[in-house]
Amino acid sequence: MIDWFAYVQVAIAVLAGLFCLVRGFMGRKPDDFTLGATTVVEVLLLVQLVVALLAPGFGNVPSGNVLEFYTYLVSAIILLPLAGLWSLIERNKWSNIVLAIANLAVAVMVYRMLQIWSFQLA
């Protein structure tokens, strides 16, 4: 994992979550803006997957449990499309709240992945 990229991911996921939360409390239904923000977070997760797969080959090895790291990463990658699917099926203001919760959960998961990768003690 690259530290600065993880922090950028966390910031963007938090912003996307807050944006979806505000749109949900405004009574708006899911639209291109909320789904687009969630898609940006998903694309960043897919880039993180590629980075995590290539990083050990360049000497950036995880200091923590590799299985735990990839469990978080795969779970986060799966979570956002499921939330997006929910919002397309159940089109009301609460779907934006679901998108917000998913984005905020991904922010926490990425931060935890950074801890597992970089800050574990032996």
**pLDDT attached to residue 121:** 63
Domain range enclosing 114: 3-118
For 53-88, how does the pLDDT look when each residue is reduced to its tens digit (9 = 90+)? 999 999 888 888 999 999 999 999 999 999 999 999
Q: Taking all residues of the chain, what is their mean pLDDT, rounded to a whole number?
A: 93
Q: Once rounded to an integer, what is the mean pLDDT over residues 28-57?
A: 95
User: Could you read off the pLDDT of 2-20 as tens digits, one per residue?
Assistant: 899 999 999 999 999 999 9
% pLDDT > 90, the chain: 83
**Residue 122 predicted with pLDDT over 70:** no
What CATH number is associated with residue 38?
1.20.120
Mapped onto helix, strand or coil, the DSSP state of residue 92 is coil
Task: Provide the domain count of the chain.
Answer: 1
**What pTM value is reported for the model?**
0.91
Tell me the DSSP string of 32-101.
HHHHHHHHHHHHHHHHHHHHHHHGGGGT---SS-HHHHHHHHHHHHHHHHHHHHHHHHS-SHHHHHHHHH
The answer on pLDDT for 120 being more than 80 is: no
